[in-house]
Amino acid sequence: MVTIKSKKEIEYMRKSCYIVALAQKAIEEAICPGISTWELNKIAEDVIYKNGAIPSCKNYPSGIKGVPAFPAGVCISVNDEVIHGIPSKNVILKKGDIVSTDLCAYKNGFHGDATRTHIVGGEQSVSKDVKRLVEVTRQSFFEGIEFAKPGFRIGDICHAIGEYVERNGFYVIREFQGHGIGRDMHEDPGIPNYGKAGKGIRLEPGMTLAIEPMVNMGTSNIEVLDDGWTVVTKDGSLAAHYENTILITEKEPEILTIM
């Protein structure tokens, strides 16, 4: 069931989402060659805890028998890792890596969720094609939210994202999707990054959605590593990920996870 948030609930969500934005900003400022993904996780967790919130991803159950709960507050995915990369002291970033940081914060009973893909060492450190991958992934989010308004349907957002990505020569992941968000980190509706325009539920003011294009440079094929969490591209090609929590309003959507 899709929940419509009250004004008070929306204010709670704004606070959680602001903390997410703060944590992402701290990662952006810290990321550089030589830093480990575990250090980046610690930096983000410290921001979240300092602001009276809890990292939603930490100890999140896998739902798969024999696979332990997620051990960190941030999913950090490097290069061919699409999503759910586990931070490690042994993963040291180098110039030219692309790194996706997916994090959620929980406060006052509500979650916020956002992802950014960073280029270690700056845009000058990668080829034009890699730079385009990151840019197209980000822009596909904004193409999608052009339709995040009352009267449109979920399928209109999904179609706009997928069409833009594929028109630019990349591939969206089909096995994972965006989602509603609020009291639970994952709520209805599911929001695939592809689909038919005019399909799905009609959007209404008060809906809060986490829209998150996940894009591969190679094919759309993926696989899960033996840790039960890390999703990688099957052909070893690079992947990028961009996400914000948004609020459907009477007019334009409000992006809650941008400062």
Average pLDDT of the chain is: 97
pLDDT in tens, 113-172: 999 999 999 999 999 999 999 999 999 999 999 999 999 999 999 999 999 999 999 999
What pLDDT, on a 0 to 100 scale, did the predictor assign at position 235?
A: 97
Domain locations along the chain: 7-255
pLDDT in tens, 74-95: 999 999 999 999 999 999 999 9
For residue 112, what are the CA distances in angstroms to 17, 87, 108, 217?
Answer: 4, 20, 11, 28
Whether the full predicted model's pTM is greater than 0.85, yes or no, is: yes
What pLDDT, on a 0 to 100 scale, did the predictor assign at position 63?
A: 87
For residue 124, what are the CA distances in angstroms to 75, 95, 127, 240?
Answer: 25, 10, 8, 17
Domain 7-255, CATH homologous superfamily name and number: Creatinase/methionine aminopeptidase superfamily (3.90.230.10)
Whether residue 120 contacts residue 32, with contact meaning beta carbons closer than 8 Å, is answered with yes
